[in-house]
Structure 1
Amino acid sequence: MSDYSRTDAAPSIGPDHHDGLRYPGPDAPFYLATGNEIAVFETCHARGLPVMLKGPTGCGKTRFVEHMAWRLGRPLVTVACHDDLSASDLTGRYLIRGSDTVWLDGPLTRAARHGALCYLDEIIEARQDTVVVIHPLTDDRRVLPLDKTGEILDAAPGFQLVISYNPGYQHGLKDLKPSTRQRFVALEFAFPSPELEAEIVEHESGIERDRAIALVTLTNRLRQLGDRGLAEVPSTRLIVAAARLVAGNIPVRAACHAALLGPLTDDPELLAAMHDLVTSTMP
């Protein structure tokens, strides 16, 4: 484990959401490093380099960004990307208020104007014609042209662009163009080792260590069903959800069925196989 490996405080992003920005609170969002990702991210921030986070759903990418915003003391803007996301949704648009027409910055523009971290979550889901709007911010220019206002916005000091996606979802048109990918420093994420994952589950849910270990052991067995048609294996996020149910006095097998198995599939054969694993693994 690296020197940057942990903070022991509970998650907290401060209550100040002025102008759509989330400012870090006094406590660090809990994050356990698995390698040198913190040092690499800090260097990228200091050098003005954008970062791409690659990894499965629920493995800690968003928590990592929140943790880094706290470490760097920068406000954070998060955008959940989707098929209908337009360039105007990112940059801004004119709105009619009473008898006036006013310009409203979008989240990308706010982040660039205020020197915030801008996190585009699951960028792969956005349309290609939307993604290209970020290109001028990802090279030495660090500018955002606002065609509707004629402004060429220079990114304020501290601005950093961060994108994430799940490589397992890439297919056909759901991929980033090389012209976009090669603008970013890539950080690879995976599920933590069983020891670290148990520590995360214990901290996030408050359950006993032995129960956290048992849930992680079960989940790693469930992940082996990925080659039997399971579209997506259970994430650390799902283990934490199950553990929180257990902490709330839900019986452990019922918690596993509700939080670990139910969200993964409706296939009766896969569910039967997973139910057998729960029965054989959990006391």
Structure 2
Amino acid sequence: MTIPPPDGSRDRRIEDSTNLWVIHPLSRALLPVALRLGISANMVSLAGLALGAAAAYAFAHWSDPLAVIAGLLLSIGWLIADGLDGMIARATKTASAFGRLLDGLCDHGVFALFYLTLAATLGTLEAWALAIVAGLAHALQSNLFEGERTRFHRRVRGDSGTAPPPRTGSQLEKLYDAVSRGVDGLAEPFDRALAASRDPQRLGADYGARAAAPMKLMAFESANMRVVAMFLACLAGNPRLFWWFEIVPLTLLLGATLFWHRRVEAALAHPVRAAPVNT
């Protein structure tokens, strides 16, 4: 079996298997068609939102196994579109701050629809409370996960992050970015060491080799894993299990992998020096 070729934007060492073997290969297969038809990245993002809305409607009928399977297939279509929009933006050199914001809003919008429709079908105060808490946990987890993944990708290139990505300047984007600032402060010592290094590419490569393990484990925070968890919970006839999965295991996993990642950074930014030998 041959590993699918990368699209140049992601490091295969930290991608989950569903992206490597299913989602991204299908997105790449559709890329030539989208380019030939002149379909823009933003159009694909909105199409993905529509597929996600249809998936939410299907999952709302979680008492019917066929509807749950349909929800999974529609969700896969949304995930394929979510991969394709970025590929189109890179292929056509049309990546923009607005496109980044739109993509993020569509992703969060799909999960918001999942929570709202499932809570509405249950109709209890407990269900609504669980949906709200899980939604807040998801927003925090996803924001921090994306920040860590972006940080990893630039660092392995020897980039210390001196040039921030373009911003739209919207209040929503400022709020979105503000969530990760606490973690950014803890990660800054390694970025300073990378900026001061005489060989940032070498230090970035060393970092990538050691940070790949915690980042690979952190990939369980991806949308793909959440879709699988929701599918299994609905198939089992209890959507609450999906919300509890987000609130407890994914929160604990994020905390553990963030701690592991910071330990890797600290070991590289402040290497232990050998004690002087007494003569």
TM-score range, shorter chain: under 0.3
Taking CA–CA contacts closer than 8 Å with sequence separation of 6 or more, which of the two structures ends up with the larger relative contact order?
2
TM-score by length of 2: 0.25
More strand by share: 1
TM-score by length of 1: 0.25
More helix by share: 2
